[in-house]
Each structure stands twice: as C-alpha cells, then as structure tokens.
Amino acid sequence: MRFTCIRSYLYDAVAAVERVVEKSTALPILQNVLLKTEKGRVLIAGTNLEIGVRAYCQAKIDEEGEITLPAKTLMQFLTHLQGEKVVVKTTAATGATIEAENASLELKTLDAKDFPIIPELSEALQVTAPTKDLHTALGSLVFFAASGEVRPELGGVFCAFDGEMVRVAATDSFRLGEYIFSLPKKTNTFSCIIPTRTVNEFLRIFSNGENVDISANTNQILFKQADRELISRLIEGKYPDYTAVIPTTFATRAYINRELFIQALRAASACSGKNKEVKITLVPQKNKLHIESRNSDVGEYVGEIPCEGKGGDLAVTCNYQYFLDALGKLESEMVSLEGNKETDPLLLKNINAIKLRYVIMPLRSY
C-alpha cells in the first residue's frame, strides 16, 4: 500500500478515530487503527467493540492495500509533524513508513485481516436531523445521565423520534433534562437509549455540517456525515416515563437573572455540606430570592438577589451543583424557576425558549 495526502487531512481523520481506541487491552489489534484505500480516498477506522468510528480523507493512491498502525504513536507523530504532505507506505509484511518533508517514522503493523469488522446496519430506520439541534440537545443533557450500573437504562440519553418531532432526555433520578426540536421532514416513530460515551464521541466528532444522517435498529445506531461515521451499541431496556415527574402547574414562579443566580450559588457553595445542599427561598411578592447554606465545620452563608414573579413564598433545599450544571447550558439572560411545595420538583428553563427545560428534585430540608 502507498498513498500521499495532506497532513492536516490525515491528522483530522486519525483524531476523530483515535479516542475510541483502547489504550490497554488483551487484544493488541484494538490498540491500532485500520488504514485502507477505498475509492480514491483512505478509510481510517477504530473500535473498542462497543463503539466504532470511521473517517475518510482524500489521498492520491499509488498502490491499494490496508494496514493497521498503533493509534497512540501515529497520533503523536502527526501532532508534531511539520510539512504539508505525508506519504504512507508499507515496507514489509509487518512494517510501514510515514514520510514527511523533514521526518519519517517506521512502525510495526498488525495484520489488517485481524482487525474487527465494524458492522453495517441492516433493516434500520432512517432519519435526518439538523446537526446543530442534535448537538445542542445531547450536549445540554448528557451530564444528567446516571453514572452507576444499578439502573443501566439511566446510563445513557433517551431519544424519541416521532413524526417531525424529537424528544431527547436524560436523568439520574435526582435531576432531569429534556430538549425538544423539529426535524426537516417526517420520519417513522422509534426510540432508543444512547450510551453516555457514545454521546460524548458524537459531540466531539459531529460539531459541523448542516445535517447528520441517523440509522438505528433495536441494537445499534449509526450517525453519518460525508466523511465521518459513528456506530454504537444501544442500551437495552425500557426508559422510564420521565414526563410523569415534570410539573405542569405551579403555585410559585420567579424570573431570575441567570448570571446573578450562578454567582449566588457559587458563593453559597463555600458553606454547603457534603451533599452540596443550599436552601433557596423564593419571595415573589417582595421580588427577592434568598440563598442560604451552612456547615458546622465551616460557617454559614446568607445571600439575596432580586427576582420578579408571582405566587406565594417557596423554600426548597437543593443540590447547588445541579443548578449550576443546568444554568450553564441555559442561554437566556433571564431564567424561570417554578415550583409548588418544598417536597415537589422544581422546573428551571429559559424564559423565551421552550426547547430546553430542567427538573431538579429537592433534598431533605434543613
């Protein structure tokens, strides 16, 4: 095999693939990436048997073929390499050389025939989604997914495609986020649970482009653009009916400056306990929001910021980090915080946007 390509093209393709490659594994081939000439371009592929990534770069093909190279070493070399073009060629049955303007690297290869096959999806449902909306939805919710293995179905992000609408949600049972957006055209109805690591890989790989094509069956999902593909296993199980815990009526509603709210919560965190608890008291009739925290080993914090709203007073104890995580993803200058009783969930959202909303469960009161 021998091909010549622009260094930056090869670097971008290897960078897209390298993150899923296992750093330590009983199967040495999984530490490698596959390079294969294919229809006038080069395929670079990597997998950990749960997630597979394929990336393509344009190249001048002098000799067809395929090899596998150690992903970490290849990435390090391309990162610090100077020059515009690189030449990749096999030098022996188990060797390859990468040549640039003022440097070259000789690497041992493993037989490409031993590289795991990254499957193609069969009998898959097809949908095209706006990249920006899907990226924003997944990025706004992935940190709300559960990290443990007690309930595996909560360890991912739920996506429900229904006609021209997509609902994306994540919860760890203490907090919940939902993002709703529209599709450019109507699609079949289906839903799936995407593993957290897959979501993070999607966010890294698919940040550009107008649309992303999605194929899914009961076990796998494939995201695809012109020169990037991400395939992953799906989480088995039934996602809980999270809509049942989203409040629909409210006794108290407050409108709060988002930046002031973030600053007040960060200040209160200095005196919070091991559960990161702070007490938030809404006083709409006086246009005030009080925040308190105390720790017997540290001290006590009391703060106040202005707000507007309606309804009676409401005092709720919550995890301040849950609020900071959510407020960091909301974008409007003012946010809405709504609730009923101190034991009921709170709803946090942008005032003028309905796509994204968060539900935060209260902690036990002081």
| Averaged pLDDT of the chain | 93
| Assigned domain for 365 exists | no
> Are 221 and 231 within 8 A, CB to CB?
yes
Q: How many CB atoms lie within 10 A of CB 108?
A: 13
Q: What is the mean pLDDT of the segment spanning 271-299? A: 94
How far does CA 212 lie from the centroid of its chain?
Answer: 15
| Assigned domain for 366 exists | no
Instruction: Give the integer Cα–Cα distance in Å for 339 and 352.
Output: 18
Residue 256, helix vs strand vs coil: strand
Q: How many CB atoms lie within 10 A of CB 109?
A: 20
Residues 42 and 106 placed together within one structural domain of the fold: yes
Residues 7 and 82 placed together within one structural domain of the fold: yes
| Assigned domain for 120 exists | no
Residues 318 and 272 placed together within one structural domain of the fold: yes
- DSSP states of 312-334: S-EEEEEEHHHHHHHHTT--SSE
Q: Which residue has the higher pLDDT, 150 or 3?
A: 3
Q: What is the DSSP letter of 176?
A: E
**Angle (deg, nearest 10), helices 320-327 and 258-268:** 150
The pLDDT of residue 258 is: 97
> Are 82 and 110 within 8 A, CB to CB?
no
Q: Whose structure tokens read 């482009």?
A: 209
Give me the helices (H) in the chain, please. Answer: 7-18, 71-80, 131-141, 196-205, 258-268, 320-327
Instruction: Kindly report, residue by residue over 17-73, the tens digit of the pLDDT.
Output: 999 998 777 889 999 999 999 988 999 999 999 999 999 999 999 999 999 999 999
Residues 40 and 109 placed together within one structural domain of the fold: yes
Whichever domain contains 294, its CATH number is: 3.10.150.10
Confidence of residue 120 (pLDDT cuts 50, 70, 90): confident
Q: What is the mean pLDDT of the segment spanning 238-259? A: 94
Instruction: Give the integer Cα–Cα distance in Å for 341 and 328.
Output: 25
Instruction: Kindly report, residue by residue over 123-142, the tens digit of the pLDDT.
Output: 778 999 999 999 999 999 99
* Residue 366 clears pLDDT 70, i.e. is over it: no
Residues 270 and 353 placed together within one structural domain of the fold: yes
Q: What is the DSSP letter of 298?
A: T
- Amino acid in the structure at residue 289: L
Domain that holds residue 234: 125-244
- Amino acid in the structure at residue 27: L
- Total domains in the chain come to 3
pTM: 0.92
Instruction: Kindly report, residue by residue over 160-195, the tens digit of the pLDDT.
Output: 999 999 999 999 999 999 999 999 888 888 999 999
Residues 129 and 237 placed together within one structural domain of the fold: yes
| Assigned domain for 345 exists | yes
E strands within 172-264? Answer: 175-195, 211-216, 220-224, 228-233, 252-257
Instruction: Give the integer Cα–Cα distance in Å for 187 and 167.
Output: 13
Residues 99 and 33 placed together within one structural domain of the fold: yes
Q: Which residues pair with 316 in a beta bridge?
A: 280
Number of H helices, E strands in the chain: 6, 23
| Assigned domain for 69 exists | yes
